[in-house]
Amino acid sequence: MDTRLSAEDLAFQTEVRQFLHQAWDKELAAKCNNRATMKAGVEEWQRRLYHKGWMAPHWPVEYGGTHWSVTQSFIYNSERAAVGAPEAVAFGVTMVASVIIAYGNDEQKAKFLPRILKSEDWWCQGYSEPGAGSDLASLKTRAERDGDEYVINGSKIWTTYAQYADWIFCLVRTDSSGRKQEGISFLLIDMKSPGITVRPINTIDGFHHLNEVFFDNVRVPIENRIGEEGKGWTYAKSLLVHERLSIAEVADSRRALGELRELARQEVNGGRSLLDDPLFARRLTNIEIDLMALEFTELRALAAIEEGKPPGPESSLLKLQGTEIQQAIQELRMDVAGYYSGTLQGDLSASQLGHEFADYAQKMYFRGRASSIYGGSNEVQKNITAKYVLGL
Amino acid sequence: MNFNLSEEQGQIQAGIARFVAEHYAYDQRNAVVAMEHGFSAQHWRQFAELGWLSIPFGEEQGGFGGGPVDTMVIMQEFGRGLVAEPYLATVLLFGGLLQAGASDAVRDDYVPRIIAGELQGAFAYLERHSRYAMADIVTRAHQQGEQWILNGEKTVVLNGGAAQKLIVAARSTGAQADVAGITLLLVDTNSAGLQRSVYRMTDGAEAANITFKDVVAEAVIGTVGDGYALMEPVVDAARLAICANALGVMEALNTRTLEYCKTREQFGVAIGSFQALQHRMVDMFAACENVRSLLYRAVCAAQESSPDARRSLLALKVMTGRAGRLIGGEAIQLHGGMGMTDELPVGSYVKRLMIINSLFGDADYHQQLFAQLVNAPVSGAGDATVKAA
């Protein structure tokens, strides 16, 4: 047992810190955190990563990846989260790219990977449907073969950032005769194709990130299909495992918790800092202790991957516990905001309103409710753990 | 970065697992606990022969020179089997204090006898009023010529019945709860003026309340008045050890509960097929993994003398108490009526978890210490600027 970093890893950590110090600045943070400029801000950040060669660390080197070890990826992610910089938007570089690299053909790799690397295409994910949520394999969007094209009819829902997207990767049904997991194919669809409509979904957090995407006789060339027809479920599943690990956002919760502690220190109730209230301190430290455990659950999974072993059964807990911790932080932040957790800032400035972080607190609280629903609801995660880990 | 055991550690683990498989079936354990002092003298000799008693001691005294990971391996395996022999009291506490603070002469005399399995010891620190504050001591130590004299009472001294020697924390100067002014004294349990009331703990272990009336000590362990500084690291190491022991207990409870739910049928199906029970077992599994993660964190931090060591240890003790309550309660519940009986070992495992929670301070006590540590303002660490959404 040994958790110390090698001299090489310590040098890498220094390099990461130096890069973040230069590349992540206040203006860019403001741009990324403002709804109107978010897309441009994130793309600017991703271009800075690209110029450093760090846009797609987990890709094979021949496509633009790095040779980072698991420990180095962990170091990068910890340092990135510590300064509050976002991850590259996962739909392109992490999700669809993993499937293209693993199952795509050479033409597909040459066409899509360089554009993802340079943030020239914005991707969204077409998985869920009105009738297929946690039970994803029940999806019904049809793809019928017509010559060299598929004709797509149906709709996708909860499509994050579809309003920005150039492309969508979709699970569609090419055959409905067998088991529901069979007959699903994985298609890459140009969002400018005739017949696609995007309808925004207004959500309780006041952001516009979710959409419904309708397909009305949309024609997609068959060369946009990944792998074999009818094997899409296998490709999609490989992605879900990845999604569950990244949703945990352990390092981001570490930063959020540190910020929350300082906010609470400054809040005064009857002359006493909220941090000195024993009931508050108990809730805060409950979260901190859970997070300390999860940090090492993540390290245990990473250490296993580094040795070429499958991540152990503990990795099934990362999504479940990671999102529980995120929500606990969001809930406590609302309580720190007090009265202001119920005020709408609107066009006022924070100083006019009288409280700086209330708007952020309530938006994150309501937005965060989704984390125990997406990526397979937490109840589904428990079913998966019961079946595959406990053998029930 | 790795969480693997060394080859030697793997051998120790396998050896103890083999011992448990051969000697610690539930009826065998019940027979052991029913023996005088609540453990088997024969087992203890076997531990000595196998070298397990030597592991934490320095090589100069004939020990193995082991560290926190080695102790973790031993205690976790002992937990899986619910081993009753007093490794904590004699080797880790009594032996740990001797190793850390005794004069060369005393250490070179006593440590080899512990390693040989010839000497039982105990650490007497608790008093009736002191609850979890280990410095809250009124038992008096005063000097008379060359001799140190003890007066007072110690309670819940684990292994206090079998112990031939004690190390007693007594007050030589200062006020009742002062950290300064505590002196550790080595005392023979056959000394004139020493009286023991011996009783059992709920897990079968023996403990004693011990009164001292003008008892003459054999030696001072460490520096006069500075005993607390000696106790603290030894007790911290013992905290790690009992949490490892608790992890072994939790693993055993989870395994047994899972097996029971897979085989017990009601309404024509195994009860483990019910989703309500499945989710509860996932919660038990998650609680156990949380303890394992914090144990690895705290053990590695201790081994590497990391600045994270104290924080991790406190978090671990909180989590161990909390997870122990959850797993213990659920194990009984999921075993149904059988969980209420002494026919299965479930109850014995749960009792060990309850004792571990209160040992050296319960989850609430440690959470307060944790809060004081992590909420203390750190200069430059608090970047409170928050993103505007």
Write out the DSSP string of A73-93: HHHHHHHHHHHTPPPPPHIII
CATH number, position A145: 2.40.110.10
Let me know if residue A225 belongs to a domain.
yes
Helix/strand/coil for B126: coil
Same domain membership, residue A222 and residue A349: no
Lowest mean pLDDT among A79-93, B227-241, B252-266, B366-380: B366-380
Nearest CA in chain B to A380: B279
Q: What is the pLDDT of residue A349?
A: 86
In chain B, residues with a C-beta closer than 8 Å to the C-beta of A278 are 371
Over range A61-78, report the average pLDDT.
Answer: 92
Pick B278's closest partner by Cβ from A263, A289, A386.
A386
SS3 content of chain B, % helix, strand, coil (to 5): 55, 15, 30
- Decide whether B7-119 matches B229-375 in CATH topology: no
| Residues A252 and A385 occupy one common structural domain | yes
Cα diameter, chain A: 76
Mean pLDDT of B200-209: 97
Q: Name the B residues in 50-69 with CB < 8 Å from any A CB.
A: 69
Cross-chain Cβ contact A263/B386 below 8 Å: yes
Residue A240 in any domain: the answer is: no
Cβ contacts (< 8 Å) between B377 and chain A: which residues? 265
Which CATH superfamily groups domain B122-225?
A: Butyryl-CoA Dehydrogenase, subunit A, domain 2 (2.40.110.10)
CATH topology of domain B7-119: Butyryl-Coa Dehydrogenase, subunit A; domain 1 (1.10.540)
Establish if A102 belongs to a structural domain. no
- Residues linked to residue A272 through DSSP beta bridges, in sequence order: A269
Is the CB of residue B376 less than 8 Å away from at least one CB of chain A? no
Percentage above 90 pLDDT, chain B: 96
Q: A167-173 and A268-269 as β-strands: parallel, antiparallel, unpaired?
A: unpaired
**Which of A68, A289, A347 would you mutate first to test chain B, the one with the most B CBs within 10 A?**
A289
Report A:204-243 residues touching B (Cβ under 8 A): 207
Name the domain count of chain A. 3
For B12-22, b where at least 16 C-beta lie within 10 A, e where not — what string?
A: bbeebeebbee
Chain A contact present for B269, CB below 8 A: no
Are A14 and A62 within one domain?
yes
Active-site option among A43, A79, A243, A249: A243
The confidence band for B364, taking pLDDT boundaries of 50, 70 and 90, is very high
pLDDT at residue number B380: 44
Residues A338, A286 share a domain: yes
Residues in chain B closer than 8 A to A288 (CB atoms)? 315, 370, 374
> What pLDDT is attached to residue B389?
30
Exposed/middle/buried for A26, CB within 10 Å: 0-12, 13-18, 19+?
Answer: exposed
User: pLDDT-derived band of residue B388, with 50, 70 and 90 as boundaries?
Assistant: very low
User: Which residues between 130 and 189 in chain B have a beta carbon less than 8 angstroms from any beta carbon of chain A?
Assistant: none
The pLDDT score that the predictor gives to residue B136 is: 97
> What does CATH list as the number for B229-375?
1.20.140.10
Q: What is the mean pLDDT of residues A253-273?
A: 95
- Residue A118, domain member (yes or no): no
**Which residues of B fall within a CB distance of 8 Å from A386?**
275, 278-279, 281-282
Q: How many CB atoms lie within 10 A of CB B369?
A: 17
Determine how β-strand A167-173 pairs with β-strand A123-126.
Answer: parallel
Residues A369 and A322 occupy one common structural domain: yes
pLDDT of residue A35: 83
- Is pLDDT at B193 greater than 90 in this prediction? yes
Alpha-carbon span B38 to B84, nearest angstrom = 7
pLDDT for res A243: 62
CB-CB under 8 Å, B377 with A292: no
Average pLDDT over chain A reads 93
**Domain assignment present for A241:** no
Distance from CA of B129 to the nearest CA of A (A): 24
Chain A within 8 Å of B377 (Cβ-Cβ)? yes
Q: What is the pLDDT of residues B119-157, one digit of tens each?
A: 999 999 999 999 999 999 999 999 999 999 999 999 999
Contact A392 B281 (CB under 8 A): yes
Whether residue B1 and residue A289 make contact (CB cut-off 8 A), yes or no, is: no
- Which pLDDT belongs to residue A240? 67
Asked if B171 and B189 touch (Cβ cutoff 8 Å), the reply is: no
Domains of chain B, by residue range, sit at 7-119, 122-225, 229-375
Residue B268: exposure state from Cβ atoms within 10 A (0-12, 13-18, ≥19): exposed
Average pLDDT for residues B56-73, to the nearest whole number? 96
Of B258, B296, B318, the CB nearest to A390: B258
Residues of A in contact with B370 (CB under 8 A): 285, 288-289
Radius of gyration of chain B (CA): 22
A353 lies within 8 A of chain B by CB: no
Q: Which residue of B has its CA nearest to A287?
A: B315
Mutation pick from B12, B243, B273, B282 vs chain A, by most beta carbons of A within 10 Å, is B282
Kindly report the nearest CA distance between residue A275 and chain B, in angstroms: 7
- For the cut 80, the answer to whether the pLDDT of residue A90 exceeds it is yes
Which CATH number is A329's domain given? Answer: 1.20.140.10
- Cβ-defined contact of B1 to A303 (cutoff 8 Å): yes
Altogether, the residues listed in chain A come to a count of 392
Same domain, A260 and A379: yes
Cβ-based contacts of B318 with chain A (< 8 Å): 285, 289
Please name the helix (run of DSSP H) or strand (run of DSSP E) that holds residue B247, with its range, or none: helix B227-263
User: Are A149 and A22 within one domain?
Assistant: no
* A357 contacts chain B (CB < 8 A): yes
Give the distance from residue A303's alpha carbon to the nearest chain B alpha carbon, in angstroms: 6
Shortest Cα distance from B331 to chain A (angstroms)? 15
The pairing of strands B140-144 and A167-173 is: unpaired
Among residues A201, A230, A259, the one where a domain terminates is A230
Smallest CA–CA distance from B291 into chain A, residue: A293
Q: B282 vs A382: CB contact, 8 Å cut-off?
A: yes
CA distance A7 to chain B (A): 12
Q: Nearest Cα to A296, choosing from B2, B72, B194?
A: B2
As beta bridge partners, residue B121 has B165
Question: Given CB atoms, is B297 within the 8 Å cutoff of chain A?
Answer: yes
- Mean pLDDT for A281-297 is 97
A252 shares a domain with A379: yes
Contacts of A275 in chain B (CB under 8 A): 375
Residue A49, in any domain of the structure: yes
> Can you tell me the distance from the alpha carbon of B120 to that of B40, in angstroms, rounded to the nearest whole number?
12
For A211-215, A295-299, B16-20, B41-45, which range has the lowest pLDDT when averaged over its residues? A295-299
Beta-bridged to residue B147, according to DSSP, are B144
Shared domain for A269 and A352, answered yes or no, is yes
Please report whether residue A182 resides in a domain.
yes
CA distance B193 to B140: 14
Q: Residue A333 belongs to what domain range?
A: 248-389
Instruction: Tell me, yes or no, if A379 is annotated catalytic.
Output: no
Helix B227-263 crosses helix B309-334 at what angle (to 10 degrees)?
30
Global ipTM = 0.94
Same domain, A354 and A253: yes
Q: Min CA distance, A348 vs chain B (Å)?
A: 13
Burial B143-168 (b: 16+ CB within 10 A, else e): eeeeebbbbbbbbbbbbbbbbebbbb
- The two tokens of residue A136 are 């994803």
3-class secondary structure, A303: helix
Give mean pLDDT, residues A202-206. Answer: 91
Same domain, A302 and A212: no
Q: What is the pLDDT of residues A299-346, one digit of tens each?
A: 998 888 888 887 767 777 899 999 999 999 999 999 999 999 998 888
A289 and A198 in one domain?
A: no
Q: How confident is the model at residue B383 (pLDDT cuts 50, 70, 90)?
A: very low
| pLDDT for position B384 | 37
Q: Does B285 touch chain A (CB under 8 A)?
A: yes
**What is the pLDDT, as a whole number, of residue B379?**
55
Tens of pLDDT, residue by residue over B291-322, are 999 999 999 999 999 999 999 999 999 999 99
Residues of A in Cβ contact (< 8 Å) with B388: 30, 33-34, 350, 359-360
